[in-house]
Chain A
Amino acid sequence: MTTEVLKAPLVVEFPFTRSLGPVQSAFLTGLREQVVLGVRTTDGRTLVPPVEYDPVTADEIRDLVQVAPTGTVTTWAWNHAPRRGQPLDTPFAWVLVRLDGADTALLHALDAPGPDAVHTGMRVRIRWAAERSGAITDIACFEPDDSAIGGETGDHDGQFESMVTGIVAQARLDYTYSPGRAQTAYINALAERRIVGERCPSCRKVYVPPRGACPTCGVATAEQVEVGPGGTVTTFCIVNIKARNLDIEVPYVYAHIALDGADLALHGRIGGIPYDQVRMGLRVEPVWTEGGRYPDHYRPTGEPDADYETFKESL
């Protein structure tokens, strides 16, 4: 039997809030003020961008140096198809630039008409972003420049008015998620108001939801078994805090439910009964709402409670 596996877009977005140490804080605040700072290592080299620990000796370093906004390309790569989030949306060169006064190179973008206009050793200058907040993107990009090596450099105490002490690093990744064969079969059956597990060929246990493998035996499962719809509450908790975007009155009960014929309890919300009357052994059944692809919750069937002996293995 071949069924089309399910697929759906999955977007993972996260704004990481990051603190800056003294050196990174000085560097990023400096960019906001159009001042580029490096840090001097134990052996007297100047690192731009600066770090707090010497990459060779691991010594803590915080001796700041101002370097020039002009520099020399040490290597480059022509990017004819810019991707989301990159510094320029027209074709550009990625460059490593050794700023005048620095001994190491900074990665950024170079705005140039084409690859023929770029070469290692070419002179470039920072183009500042119109609006700057204390981030690496305060450098909009580099642009070609014909000035000689030099520019104003010197010691700097790294102190500015209202120091930037943190950044928010936005990230977004796009995926097409597929749950694989076993879970596709499970989700499709749910939409038909059936609950399908898979039996292990070795230990004969029925897993629901099935994930295609028996976690006890480490073998593939394939034999589908319809379980439920009735089941037994094996254990439960009372939820007192309202989750964001969830329209369920608190308190409510979330329970482990051993469906008839299954050897593993799944979990679901219990409705149709006051929260303080839910108990171990309560017999329940799934409730699908109109058009729902999966059970909205479980409700009591009205049967007598199950005997502890019948569900203790599923606890």
Chain B
Amino acid sequence: MTREIAVVAFAQTDHRRTSDELSEVEMLMPVLHEVLDATGLKTSDIGFTCSGSSDYLAGRAFSFTLALDGVGAWPPISESHVEMDGAWALYEAWTKLLTGDTDTALVYAYGKSSPGSVRDVLTRQLDPYYVAPLWPDSVALAALQAQALIDEGYTDEPALAAVAARSRADAQANSHAQLRGSVPHGEYVVHPLRTGDCPPIGDGAAAVILAAGDRARELCERPAWIRGIDHRIEAHSLGVRELTDSPSTRLAAEKAGAFERPVDTAELHAPFSSQEVVLRKALRLGDDVRVNPSGGALAANPIMAAGLVRIGEAAARIHRGESDRALAHATSGPCLQQNLVAVLEGEPRHAQ
């Protein structure tokens, strides 16, 4: 049998360039309390806890263990961690709920990019034999993908600027966003990408509560039911991949059921303007789909939390009745290497 599982609460911090007055757990705790308060649950009521974060951002081994202080890990709790974006922690929690072991799960993710240089830090996830010794930074790799898109005629620099401008304009309505309103397209960081095409570097955290079946209906007026969720990966080597397309996103979307019926909203994890072009194509999103009403990762990109924020933002729109069927996407790795797609739905509303 298949259980119905929903996102019943979502919270995020204000995303900021730096938060050095706060340790990770100090930054995280308010959002944990916010999702617990929203559902009336206590930490001791949560059946499973799963988190996403990165030691390389923190510059410390086993850094996630310190954040566990924020969830009251004594007496021992059922807990797990992924060294990835929290969207993948949510996938693990969803799998755990499917087993029927428990009815509720807490998923959280956080990242402080401010202590280090995120462009350098992210080089450590590359192939250590052929690529990492050259230290190609994250903007450079995204720029290679952007140039390939331009060469193929899928976009051009004005179109990329328009993606960035629309994202930051939409972020005006998002009080948590880091970059809002009119942001200059700026100088080239790595040609053809300008500052405006790149995400802000910042610190932030997010948390979500999942619940199964009737428990979800008790905890939330309009649960965001996860109708499908899937994640896929492509070859590690950039030169093997077709950079202008994202077959892994398309396959994940297909397996998640995204193409069965149209969605009205898509929250896409596209840290670079050029990646939105790739994702729209891979997901066959038409102009009638509201893409990144939150402003997306171009407005706030807390590494390791930005993907979970996409799922949370999509769910929150369903909670608020602004969406009936939404797609949420998360990515990890250079040039959209790994992709996760979730399809969320609210129950039909009666005509007023």
Query: Which residue of A47, A77, A176, A217 has the most chain B CB atoms within 10 A of its CB atom?
Result: A77
B115 A175 Cβ-Cβ under 8 A: yes
Which chain B residue has the least Cβ–Cβ distance from A171? B124
Given contacts A5-B20, A24-B129, A213-B29, is CB(A109)–CB(B134) below 8 Å? yes
- A107/B129 in contact, CB under 8 A: no
CA distance A219 to B121 in the complex (A): 31
State the CA gap A244–B262 with chains docked (Å). Answer: 63
Question: Is A149 interfacial (CB-CB < 8 Å)?
Answer: no
**Complex: how many Å from CA A183 to CA B20?**
12
CA separation between A176 and B57, bound complex, in Å?
Answer: 11
Are the C-beta atoms of A77 and B192 separated by less than 8 Å? yes
Q: Which residues of A contact B66 (CB under 8 A)?
A: 211
Does A306 interact with chain B (Cβ within 8 Å)?
Answer: no
- A108 contacts B by Cβ under 8 Å: yes
Q: Which residues of A contact B240 (CB under 8 A)?
A: 47, 55, 104
A122 to chain B, nearest CB (A): 12
Question: Cα distance A180–B110 when bound, in Å?
Answer: 15
Query: A-facing mask of B305-327, CB < 8 A → 1, else 0?
Result: 00000000000000000000000
Interface residues on B, range: 35 or more
With A and B bound together, what is the CA distance between A165 and B191 in angstroms?
37
Q: Is the CB of A213 within 8 A of B59?
A: no
Which stretch (B80-88, B136-144, B214-222, B278-286) binds chain A?
Answer: B136-144
A80 to B193, CA, bound (A): 12
Contact B129 A178 (CB under 8 A): no
Most chain A CB within a 10 A radius of its CB, from B32, B69, B239: B239
Pick from B71, B135, B237: contact of A86, CB under 8 Å: B135
A94 to B135, CA, bound (A): 11
Q: Which A residues are CB-close (under 8 A) to B23?
A: 178-183, 211-212
Q: Which of B108-134 contact A (CB under 8 A)?
A: 114-117, 119-121, 124, 128-134
- Distance between A31 CB and nearest chain B CB, rounded to angstroms: 10
Q: Min CB distance, B115 to chain A, in Å?
A: 4
Q: Answer whether A136 and B29 are a contact pair too, CB < 8 Å, given A94-B144, A174-B117.
A: no
What chain B residues lie within 8 Å of A248 (beta carbons)?
none
For the complex, is B146 an interface residue (Cβ under 8 Å from A)? yes
Residue pair B191, A86 in contact (C-beta under 8 Å): no
Q: How far is the CB of B136 from chain A (nearest CB, A)?
A: 6
**Contact partners of B116 in chain A: CB under 8 A:** 173-176
A158 → B minimal CB distance (Å):
16
Q: Please measure, in the bound complex, the distance between the C-alpha atom of A207 and the C-alpha atom of B132, giving whole angstroms.
A: 42
Question: In the complex, are the beta carbons of B140 and A79 less than 8 A apart?
Answer: yes
Do A180 and B238 form a contact, CB below 8 Å, given A75-B147, A86-B136, A171-B124?
no
- How near does chain A come to B334, taking the closest CB pair, in angstroms? 10
Check B243 for interface membership: any CB of A closer than 8 A: yes
Nearest Cβ in chain A — how far from B220, in angstroms? 21
**Complex interface bits, B73-92 against A, C-beta within 8 A gives 1, otherwise 0:** 11000000000000000000
A10 and B69: CB pair below 8 A?
no
- In contact, B147 and A169 (Cβ under 8 angstroms): no
Interface string of A66-109 (1 = CB under 8 A from B): 00000000111111100111110000001010100000111111
Write the nearest CB–CB distance from B304 to chain A, whole angstroms: 16
- Chain B residues positioned under 8 Å from A74 (CB to CB): 148, 239
How distant is B47 from chain A, measured CB to nearest CB, in Å? 15
Tell me which of A94, A211, A212, A219 contacts B140 (CB under 8 A): A94
Task: Tell me the complex Cα distance, A176–B140, Å.
Answer: 24
Residues of B within 8 A of A120 (CB): 147-148, 151
Residues of B within 8 A of A213 (CB): 25-26, 29, 69-70
Bound-complex Cα distance A175 to B117 (A): 7
Q: Is the CB of B144 within 8 A of A135?
A: no
A167 within 8 A of B: yes
Q: Which residues of A contact B22 (CB under 8 A)?
A: 180-181, 212
Which residue of chain A has the shortest Cβ distance to B135 in the bound complex? A85
| Cross-chain contact B69 with A211 (CB below 8 angstroms) | yes
Give which listed residue, A16, A86, A98, A215, contacts B74 with CB less than 8 A: A215
Does B186 touch A at the CB level, under 8 Å? no
Residue A274 at the chain B interface, CB threshold 8 Å? no
A208 in the interface (beta carbon within 8 A)? no
| A28 contacts chain B at the CB level, 8 A cutoff | yes
Q: How far is the CA of A47 from the CA of B32 in the complex (A)?
A: 47
Complex alpha-carbon distance, A224 and B115, angstroms: 27
Check: A124 CB closer than 8 A to any chain B CB.
no
Q: Mark B171-200, 1 if CB is under 8 A from A, else 0.
A: 000000000000000001011110000000
**A87 partner residues in chain B, CB cutoff 8 A:** 134
CB distance from B70 to the nearest CB of A (A): 5
Query: Quick one: which of A77, A98, A107 contacts B190, CB cutoff 8 A?
Result: A77
| A–B pairs, 24, beta carbons within 8 Å | A18-B128, A51-B237, A75-B151, A77-B191, A80-B188, A83-B137, A84-B135, A86-B134, A94-B140, A98-B239, A104-B237, A106-B239, A107-B136, A108-B134, A136-B129, A169-B129, A169-B133, A173-B56, A180-B21, A181-B26, A182-B23, A211-B23, A213-B69, A215-B68
Additional 16 contacts, C-beta under 8 A, given A77-B191, A120-B147? A49-B130, A49-B239, A75-B145, A94-B136, A96-B238, A105-B238, A106-B130, A135-B133, A136-B133, A176-B116, A180-B20, A181-B21, A212-B29, A212-B69, A216-B74, A220-B26
Write the residues of chain B forming the contact surface with A, with a CB cutoff of 8 angstroms. 20-26, 29, 32-33, 43, 56, 59, 66, 68-74, 114-117, 119-121, 124, 128-137, 140-141, 143-148, 151, 188, 190-193, 235-240, 243
The 4 closest A-B CB pairs, nearest first, are A180-B23, A218-B72, A105-B239, A77-B143
